[in-house]
A and B are shown apart, each in its own frame.
Chain A
């Protein structure tokens, strides 16, 4: 029971991070029907941006309040990562609308390789550890010499994720931007005829996805305390799995999928074997795509000529 509870806490924490990344995949897929393969590396780059500004704040400016530093870093990472994603969309994806079917995906794979190798060249191939930002936590349950703890970091991740998802939900459901987005998702041509600026809406979709990925990147950095240039690939594929599991194109689906993937991964490593945890995630991706391609909350896709 204690182990189960602890795994549940860890799983939800991990799942929140996957969910935040998964939204970027699901929104872009919903609006232009493209797997944004470079999104995982955008996430990794955001973690590096957070790392750099955290170091600048703590060592150069001598900031001591960790909470304040983290908030500033998160905002900077969100802004710069959005800019990065905007630039990538402009350079690598926008010219390819109307090109052949696989062109955007190939371009995205190229961009993913560029990002991870650029960070490797610019920041070096080593792991980048940071000193623990804050430690301690709440003991939820203590019996049989096994204390179930909910650390402050985990609480922070839960709270930040919940707040941002609520804000995000509000934007998509209640603002004119969200309405334009949903209109483009249903019928891009019709939306354009009715005066929606489609290019701008698509750009903003990339920006929003990247901003959430930047939050995930900052949280990832503060939770694990280490980041490496190759950290984009596996979380990226797992978040994509989450998006597919929840039903690609569906926003609540992405969050639910993220939580499920996080839980499956932690329970798998807790109860079966930690070596095969990535195999479990990749197998879920394959199984879901083959047997349930519409996912949990997605609409079945009808193939049209």
Chain B
């Protein structure tokens, strides 16, 4: 209370901020106190015992009080002032530099992605490149592809699909089962996995078409969970939660990537290394992802793509204008599912092992988070979000110096989902159109106009 008294001299604004900050601190203390301060741990006799950590609680509460105070006194007034300032000067459109960046960013990054393995190998050699090509390159590109696939459903058609990972699972299990039982090659099974997943997309999509936004989200979540539970419990078919292992690898025109006499390394007289296969996989997933992007970009200009975006903005208006919403939704579902199927069969071939563990709801949530953070509908945004989130996760694993600060038990990667969740909430509050918002309508009538629709409420079209 003494703090409030002194703060009063600087004006009523600060006093209110102090009061607010202290109140938030109290709430934080009540919430974090027990959950963080009193950790329950099992002791040697398998009984739970309380471990007290009040220093940590004090640090968290202190951060919240100070953060809230700064937010109220500095950040929000500054933001409000900026907004006022911006609204006084007329909107002259983006500067030439920004236009150049948005014009050349996508082609430049595609060129960079094609050169990436070459750069890595020339810098670190074949053995050193493994981690960078595999963990960073392939891993991120899988999520870029999944993000782009889900972007068709969520970003373009505006149908929130929380069970997207089910189609990824269908693709992965299609490849795993058909290749290990019938010995079919990856190149036959890749399109088949896509077709299977698309059929599942239609099958699951058909009954849920009449549902409105959030109901649809929950039903897709239920379908996703049902598929995962069936994969766990139908042991004769899927081998249950043990999963399927030793799935055949991908071959390049029949050339195997192994140490055999007719393998890749022997054929080209190269030293034997597992890096070739990784680099080959890298280019494979890069091409698959670019295929997804290409198809999406082209479809956006076709009637069906226009219909998706119209559907996202206003379903009733769509129906009034004679758009067949059933077909429009089903094509979005089927196409999104197909790309997940491709990605799934690639995933199975890359891992050589699939189990239901890889297809939990959290995985769906990660993909949804990527699409949401990237700005629903924006291809570049989704790709950047995937790089930031998946690459960020991989980087967290590398950060050993944090251990020296927070102690040896500190494992930064356990905070990854926490950060994902916080980022989702923060983006919805501050930038509901995502970090890279490109939600311009794709066609204009002679000039840019203010457009209607609840999705674009915060700005002009």
CB pair B31–A114 under 8 Å, yes or no, is no
Partner of A123 from the list B39, B225, B432, B454 (CB cut-off 8 Å) is B39
B139 to chain A, nearest CB (A): 20
Q: Which of B313-372 contact A (CB under 8 A)?
A: 316, 361-362, 365, 368-369, 372
Contact (A118, B35) CB under 8 Å given A107-B428, A128-B40, A286-B207: yes
**Contact residues in A for B215 (Cβ distance below 8 Å):** 35, 289, 293
Docked pose: A121 CA to B36 CA in angstroms: 9
A70 to chain B, nearest CB (A): 16
Kindly specify which of A13-21, A43-51, A164-172 makes contact with the partner chain: A43-51
| Secondary structure class of chain B's binding surface, majority of residues | helix
Confirm or deny: B41 has a beta carbon within 8 angstroms of a beta carbon on chain A. yes
CB pair A52–B211 under 8 Å, yes or no, is no
Give the number of residues in A that approach B within 8 Å (Cβ atoms): 67
A231 to chain B, nearest CB (A): 14
Confirm or deny: A285 has a beta carbon within 8 angstroms of a beta carbon on chain B. yes
CB pair B230–A123 under 8 Å, yes or no, is no
Confirm or deny: B42 has a beta carbon within 8 angstroms of a beta carbon on chain A. yes
B186 to chain A, nearest CB (A): 31
Confirm or deny: B217 has a beta carbon within 8 angstroms of a beta carbon on chain A. yes
Docked pose: A233 CA to B160 CA in angstroms: 18
Contact (A120, B414) CB under 8 Å given A112-B421, A286-B219: yes
CB pair B210–A290 under 8 Å, yes or no, is yes
Partner of A117 from the list B47, B219, B225, B417 (CB cut-off 8 Å) is B417
Docked pose: A35 CA to B46 CA in angstroms: 39
**Contact residues in B for A122 (Cβ distance below 8 Å):** 35-36, 39
CB pair B454–A111 under 8 Å, yes or no, is no
B370 to chain A, nearest CB (A): 12
Docked pose: A98 CA to B158 CA in angstroms: 17
CB pair B421–A100 under 8 Å, yes or no, is no
Partner of A99 from the list B30, B214, B369, B457 (CB cut-off 8 Å) is B457
Confirm or deny: B397 has a beta carbon within 8 angstroms of a beta carbon on chain A. no
Closest to B204 in A: A286
**Contact residues in B for A104 (Cβ distance below 8 Å):** 428
Partner of A124 from the list B41, B210, B372, B415 (CB cut-off 8 Å) is B41
Confirm or deny: A67 has a beta carbon within 8 angstroms of a beta carbon on chain B. no
Docked pose: A98 CA to B458 CA in angstroms: 10
Confirm or deny: B291 has a beta carbon within 8 angstroms of a beta carbon on chain A. no
CB pair B418–A100 under 8 Å, yes or no, is no
Confirm or deny: B126 has a beta carbon within 8 angstroms of a beta carbon on chain A. no
CB pair B222–A113 under 8 Å, yes or no, is no
Contact (A84, B39) CB under 8 Å given A56-B50, A96-B429, A99-B428: no
Contact (A35, B420) CB under 8 Å given A105-B160, A111-B425, A289-B219: no
**Contact residues in B for A117 (Cβ distance below 8 Å):** 414-415, 417-418, 421
Say which size band chain B's interface belongs to: 35 or more
**Contact residues in A for B402 (Cβ distance below 8 Å):** none
**Contact residues in A for B403 (Cβ distance below 8 Å):** none
Give 1 or 0 for each of B206-230: 1 = CB within 8 Å of chain A CB. 0110111111011101110110011
CB pair A276–B40 under 8 Å, yes or no, is no
CB pair A293–B211 under 8 Å, yes or no, is yes
Give 1 or 0 for each of B105-124: 1 = CB within 8 Å of chain A CB. 00000000000000000000
Partner of A56 from the list B38, B226, B458 (CB cut-off 8 Å) is B38
- What are 13 pairs between A and B in contact, CB < 8 Å? A52-B40, A55-B50, A83-B30, A96-B428, A105-B214, A106-B160, A128-B48, A130-B48, A275-B233, A282-B225, A285-B218, A285-B222, A293-B211
Question: Interface residues, chain B, CB within 8 Å of chain A?
Answer: 27, 30-31, 34-36, 38-42, 46-50, 158, 160, 162, 207-208, 210-215, 217-219, 221-223, 225-226, 229-230, 232-233, 316, 361-362, 365, 368-369, 372, 414-415, 417-418, 420-425, 428-429, 432, 454-458
Besides A80-B31, A237-B222, 7 more A-B contacts (Cβ < 8 Å) are A92-B425, A92-B428, A96-B428, A100-B457, A109-B421, A276-B229, A286-B222
